[in-house]
C-alpha cells in the first residue's frame, strides 16, 4: 500500500508537470498566434422569436493551432486576460467582426447586428472608446449594428468609471448586452444605472426550463424584470424544441442555441443568409 501511494504521488507529480509544461507551451504559442493569422471567428445566429427571422449573430473566437488543432476560447481567453494579450486579440475580434458584417452588406444582404464578447481588461483600457471609434470609422459599420456583450462581474469594479464608458458607448448608438445574466453578483440596482439594451439569460437556466420549476420561474422572472425596465431579453443555450416553445410562450424576445443554429464560419453564414433571402 505504501509503495503504491508513492507511485500514485509520482504519477500525480509527473502528470502535473506535463500539464504545466503544456500550458506554458500554449501560452508561448499564443504570443505568435495573431501575427501568424491563426484566429478566426464563428458566427452563431440569433433569431427574433415573434418572426423567426435572424436578426443578429454572436461572434465567437477560435484558435486554429498549427499542431494542436482547434482550441476553445475557454482554454486561451483566460490566459490572454492574464498576460494582457487580450487587448490586441480583442481589438482583432472587434475589427474582424465589423469588417465581415460590412462584407455581408457588400454581398447585397441587409444590415445584421453582431455581438462581440468583451473582457474586463478591454473595458478598463483608457483608450477603449477611441479604439471603438476607430473601428467604426475604419470599417464603416453602422454603430447600431454593433453590440458589446459584458458580464456582471466586469461591471462590478470601478462602477463610476464603467458607467461613464457605457454611457459614451450608448451615446454612440452601440448596443450593450449583459451576458450570462443571473450567474453573477451584480446588484439589480445597477441595471437602472447602466444603459443596457439587452439581458442574456444564461444557458444554465435554459437547459431545464421546460422541466424544472425553479429554472422556469427564474427565466420568467428575468424576462419580466427586463421588460419592466424596457430592456430586451435573449435566451442562450436553446438546444431543444421544448426550450423554444417555453421561451415563445413566456414572451422572450430573442433566442440563440444549437437548436436554432450552430456557430458558422463566415462563408457558411453568408451562404445561409443569401439562400434565405431567395426563399
Ligand atoms: P459565451 O459568451 O457564454 O458564449 C456562448 C457559448 O455557448 C459559446 O461557446 C457557444 O458556442 C456555446 N453555445 C451556443 N449554443 C449552445 C447551445 O445550444 N448549448 C450549449 N451547451 N452551448 C452553446 P464558445 O464558442 O466555446 O465560447 C465560450 C466562451 O468563450 C464564451 O461564452 C465567451 O465567454 C468566451 N469567448 C468566445 N469568444 C470570445 C471573444 O472573442 N472574446 C472574449 N473575451 N471571450 C470570448
Ligand atoms: Ca457571449
Ligand atoms: Ca442603448
Ligand atoms: Ca453567455
Q: Is the shortest distance between the CB of 41 and ligand 1 below 6 Å?
A: no
What proportion of the chain, given as a percentage, has pLDDT over 90?
82
Q: Which neighbouring-strand residues pair with 59? A: 43, 116
List, in sequence order, the alpha helices (H) in 194-265.
203-206, 213-228, 241-249
Q: What is the mean pLDDT of the chain?
A: 93
Pairing between strand 146-151 and 175-181?
parallel
Q: What is the ipTM of this complex?
A: 0.97
CA of 188 from ligand 1 middle (Å) equals 24
Q: What is the mean pLDDT of residues 219-237?
A: 96
pLDDT band at 18 (very low <50, low <70, confident <90, very high): confident
Q: Whose CA is nearest to atom 23 of ligand 1?
A: 237
What is each CA distance from 123 to 86, 138, 155, 160, 164, in whole angstroms?
Answer: 11, 20, 9, 13, 11
Through-space distance between the first and last CA atoms of the chain, rounded to whole angstroms: 70
Kindly report the backbone phi and psi dihedral angles of residue 154, in degrees, each rounded to the nearest multiple of 5, phi listed first. -65, -30
Atom of ligand 1 at shortest distance to CA of 81?
44
pLDDT digits (tens, 9 = 90+) for 114-167: 999 999 999 999 999 999 999 999 999 999 999 999 998 888 888 899 999 999
pLDDT digits (tens, 9 = 90+) for 199-224: 999 999 999 999 999 999 999 999 99
Return the C-alpha cell found at 94.
472587434
So what's the pLDDT on residue 1?
Answer: 47
* Helical (H) or strand (E) element with 116: strand 113-117
Q: What is the mean pLDDT of residues 93-116?
A: 98
Q: Is the shortest distance between the CB of 263 and ligand 1 below 6 Å?
A: yes
Amino acid at each position: 500500500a505504501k509503495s503504491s501511494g508513492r507511485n500514485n504521488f509520482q504519477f500525480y507529480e509527473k502528470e502535473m508537470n506535463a500539464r504545466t509544461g503544456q500550458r506554458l507551451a500554449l501560452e508561448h504559442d499564443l504570443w505568435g498566434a495573431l501575427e501568424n493569422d491563426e484566429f478566426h471567428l464563428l458566427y452563431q445566429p440569433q433569431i427574433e422569436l415573434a418572426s423567426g427571422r435572424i436578426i443578429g449573430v454572436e461572434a465567437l473566437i477560435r484558435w486554429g493551432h498549427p499542431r494542436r488543432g482547434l482550441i476553445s476560447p475557454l482554454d486561451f481567453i483566460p490566459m490572454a486576460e492574464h498576460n494582457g494579450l487580450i487587448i490586441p486579440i480583442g481589438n482583432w475580434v472587434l475589427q474582424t467582426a465589423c469588417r465581415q458584417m460590412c462584407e455581408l452588406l457588400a454581398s447585397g444582404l441587409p444590415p445584421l447586428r453582431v455581438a462581440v464578447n468583451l473582457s474586463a481588461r478591454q473595458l478598463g483600457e483608457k483608450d477603449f472608446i477611441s479604439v471603438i471609434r476607430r473601428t467604426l470609422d475604419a470599417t464603416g459599420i453602422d454603430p447600431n449594428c454593433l453590440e458589446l456583450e459584458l458580464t456582471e462581474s466586469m461591471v462590478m469594479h470601478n462602477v463610476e468609471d464603467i458607467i461613464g464608458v457605457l454611457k459614451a458607448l450608448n451615446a454612440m448608438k452601440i448596443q450593450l448586452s449583459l451576458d450570462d445574466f443571473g450567474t453573477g453578483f451584480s446588484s439589480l440596482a445597477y441595471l437602472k444605472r447602466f444603459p443596457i439594451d439587452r439581458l442574456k439569460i444564461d444557458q444554465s437556466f435554459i437547459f431545464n426550463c421546460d422541466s424544472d420549476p425553479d429554472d422556469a420561474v427564474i427565466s420568467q422572472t428575468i424576462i419580466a424584470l427586463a421588460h419592466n425596465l424596457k430592456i430586451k431579453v435573449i435566451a442562450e443555450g436553446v438546444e431543444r424544441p421544448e426550450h423554444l416553445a417555453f421561451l415563445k410562450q413566456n414572451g422572450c424576445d430573442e433566442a440563440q442555441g444549437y437548436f436554432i443554429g450552430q456557430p458558422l464560419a463566415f462563408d457558411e453564414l453568408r451562404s445561409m443568409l443569401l439562400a434565405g433571402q431567395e426563399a
